[in-house]
Amino acid sequence: MAFQIDRTRIRGSAPEWRSDRERWQTEYGRRVRVCEALVLVATIGAAQLIRFGGIDDNDQMAAWSGDASIGYSIISVLLALSWFGFLVAGNAASPGALGTGLEEYRQLTSATLRLFGLIGIVSLLFRLDFARGYLAIALPFGLLGLLVNRMLWRRYAAAQRRSGRYRTAVLVLGGPDAAREMMTCFARDPAVGYSVVGVYSPYDKEFGGESELPDVPILVGAETTVLDAVRQTGSDLVAISATEHLGARGINDLVWQLAPLGVGVVVTPGVVDVADQRMAIRPIGNLPLLHIAKPQYGRSRSFGRAVFDLTFAVSALLLVSPVMLIAAVAIKIDSRGPVFYRSERIGLDGVPFRMIKFRSMFPDADQRRAALESDNEGAGPLFKIREDPRVTPIGRILRRYSLDELPQFINVIRREMSVVGPRPPLPGEVERYDGKVRRRLLVKPGVTGLWQVSGRSDLSWDESVRLDLSYVENWSMVQDLLIIAKTITAVTRSDGAY
């Protein structure tokens, strides 16, 4: 494969698509930073106003041993400038950090804590007498304002990307299989704005031809170069999956050759559904190695997790008890039969248990299932019908807002389920599991989970399995808290509930 390029051509004419991308990145970054400066000025100004009652601080000084002192108006200006400087120095305001989710928030928090940690150390060493109330207001509210500002701008960028703007065009260097996998991953998170615009095969033939990816051109190494492919497709980023063909030196050369075009390079490690807390890049000699920690399902059985489940379940039952009482009365009035429905499910390590739900179907629903098999809309072994005639009028309301699942917190108290976990499967479903899918049984099923916040009944069987296995392998307490927060939104929208 030819990697040599004519650098005079690159310097002489910058591609039009490059200027467009740089323009929106520069504009977006400038807006974010201006808003951050305003947040810092407003927060620090408010801290001074609340603590000292105004900006006239002749009687309010930060003093150290001796007669020297400095007014808090000057301190406020220095604090705002230092804070913004720490954000810039910590790359929290760099184009690469903007819009990167948890990493973006982590960099903001890290830069802020470093600044206030330094203030604490300097105060101790030089015996500076800072007003604690002033800092106690500025730190938490300033950090909260910065995080909210980034969250709002991320939502703006996501909306722009969904409408076709603020996007990153990706050229995949590899085969169509790698391109298809990337396209699937990018489609799961359209807010990131990545879209595959072409495939460059460094080999001497096309893998299956253009019919494999009808909407994406496939360019062959024997006919063109990577740089020509970048120009033809208007790519902003080259994603390398054919690392065995390029080798270490080939990738380094490609990075240097694409730099004048303003095109970035990423190398795909060939793994999916591995959380970032399980991955770490550790260089051995001059060779960077991606280390992947073992699956985390064992941690989900910890004592701390059990305490959290019990505490949350008891609190939730106390909080929603009036709603549950109203639901129970409505079920009795709506149709004959018991208030609760107990369904046999398979729990941790394949042990069966009786899952408790509010009854949302007529009492003879199980006997009528065989007659409805031809109408099944469920994915894989799941049985689902969007307009199921066995569901009662009240049951449709309960299902729409997942109120029928509230009694499952009783199962959590009985240690048969967790608050968050894979969807509790029926025995018939488990009988059809293969070895890979049976990994879902390594943790307790949950009242909610990734399946609940990602589409619920609208998910395909493969996607449902992928989400559950990803949860099992990457479990963390932080992820559980995020899923619980997202569940409230998902239930309110009632997407995919029937």
pLDDT tens for each residue of 388-442: 788 899 988 998 888 999 999 999 999 999 999 998 988 888 888 877 888 889 9
Q: How far apart are CA 176 and CA 233, in angstroms?
A: 16
Say what the pLDDT of residue 142 is: 93
Quote the tokens at residue 392: 């009662």
Quick one: 429 and 472 in the same domain? yes
User: In this structure, are residues 172 and 142 in contact, taking their beta carbons and an 8 Å threshold?
Assistant: no
Q: How far apart are CA 151 and CA 191, in angstroms?
A: 13
Distance of CA 241 to the CA centre of its chain: 23
Asked, for residue 292, whether it belongs to a domain, the answer is: no
Average pLDDT for the chain: 80
Quick one: 486 and 375 in the same domain? yes
3-state secondary structure of 201: strand
Q: Is pLDDT of 326 > 90?
A: yes
Quick one: 35 and 136 in the same domain? yes
Q: How far apart are CA 321 and CA 328, in angstroms?
A: 10
Q: Angle, nearest 10°, between helix axes 102-126 and 132-162?
A: 160
Segment 163-219, tens digit of pLDDT: 878 888 888 888 777 777 888 888 777 777 888 888 888 765 555 544 456 677 777
Which residues are within 8 A (CB) of 260 and not within 5 positions of it... i.e. 6 or more apart?
Answer: 7, 10, 11
Domain that holds residue 20: 16-162
Q: How far apart are CA 112 and CA 129, in angstroms?
A: 21
Single out the residue in 162, 186, 205 at which a domain terminates: 162
Single out the residue in 112, 134, 162 at which a domain terminates: 162
- Beta strand 194-201 with 218-220 is parallel
Q: How far apart are CA 98 and CA 422, in angstroms?
A: 32
Q: How far apart are CA 56 and CA 466, in angstroms?
A: 61
Q: Angle, nearest 10°, between helix axes 16-52 and 72-89?
A: 150
Asked, for residue 9, whether it belongs to a domain, the answer is: no
Distance of CA 103 to the CA centre of its chain: 10
Cα distances from 487 to residues 26, 99, 453, 456, 493, in angstroms, run 35, 23, 6, 11, 10
Distance of CA 283 to the CA centre of its chain: 27
Quick one: 332 and 437 in the same domain? yes
Q: Note the pTM of the prediction, 2 decimals.
A: 0.69
> Tell me, what CATH number does 230's domain have?
3.40.50.1980
Quick one: 127 and 253 in the same domain? no
Asked, for residue 2, whether it belongs to a domain, the answer is: no
Q: Which residue has the higher pLDDT, 237 or 367?
A: 237
Quote the tokens at residue 385: 């019908």
